[in-house]
Amino acid sequence: MLSREYALSEDTKEEDLVALVEKLNKDDEIHGILVQLPLPKQIDEEKIINAIDPKKDVDAFHPANVGKIMIGNFDYLPCTPAGVMELIKETGIEIEGKECVIIGRSNIVGKPQAMLMLHKNATVTICHSRTKDLKEVVKRADIVVAAVGRPNFVTADMVKEGAVVIDVGINRLENKKLCGDVDFESVSKVASYITPVPGGVGPMTIAMLMQNTLTAAKLTLK
Ligand code: NAD
């Protein structure tokens, strides 16, 4: 894979970033475009995502690709949720019919995660900052996906014995160490499977991005 990095300055104008995206849209050497978010405040994120050619949108953030994920007939995998699905697949545990609880409802993790699990016939619940009795809801889950962005948010008393626990969170502590949304120490004693942070979902997200890039190249050859 050819990889080109454009590290633009923080004061880049919105129209300049749009122009770069449009240039790459037309470049036959480039099959996939990823704009690293978040963007500086002078740039409208939605405008930039919408400028990416949906056929080169390997992050699957463009509304056309989001819509396809919702319907279940999609070219590109939403990278982080797809990585989570791969991790669950590796356990050999069947998702169909399972109670899956996702904590977090962002457009990049929570919502597409729910869709992928629904497409696999799970019973899916999405929890968020206004959810009442969060502990009770999470305790029902056979599979828990935590994407909150709060260190050690999920504790052992919230998790059913034998549940699969996938930790999407990446939090930087004051001592500069990385930690997830799940209190690994205590939850690993009740979960049947648990992912570490770092070294769990993060590398899978990158692997799925590579897969999308390959898919993008193949689509242009069709
Ligand atoms: P976000 O901030 O957009 O969303 C957080 C979600 O958590 C929100 O939907 C909010 O409703 C929910 N939430 C916040 N407080 C809550 C509470 N007290 N109770 C219940 N729900 C609550 O974050 P995001 O972009 O979805 O990312 C979530 C985490 O995952 C972050 O730590 C981020 O760094 C990490 N992340 C990791 C990867 C990866 O590749 N591993 C990819 C994307 C995001």
Angle between helices 63-71 and 110-119 (to 10 degrees): 30
Q: Is 78 in the pocket of ligand 1 (CB under 6 A)?
A: no
> Does any ligand 1 atom lie closer than 6 A to the CB of residue 166?
no
> So what's the pLDDT on residue 221?
83
pLDDT < 70: residue spans in the chain: none
Tokens of 95: 């998702």
What pLDDT, in 10s, does the model give residues 160-207?
A: 999 999 999 999 999 999 999 999 999 999 999 999 999 999 999 999
Q: Ligand 1, atom 8: nearest CA belongs to which residue?
A: 104
The whole-model pTM stands at 0.96
Tokens 């989570």 belong to which residue? Answer: 84
pLDDT of residue 220: 86
Domains of the chain: 1-55 (3.40.50.10860), 79-201 (3.40.50.720)
In DSSP notation, 168-196 reads: ---EE-TTS-EE-SB-HHHHTTT-SEE--
Q: Which residue has the tokens 């994120």?
A: 45
3-state helix, strand, coil in the chain (%, to 5): 40, 15, 45
Q: Is 169 in the pocket of ligand 1 (CB under 6 A)?
A: yes
CA 145 to CA 165: how far, in whole Å?
6
Q: What is the predicted pLDDT for the residue at 124? A: 98
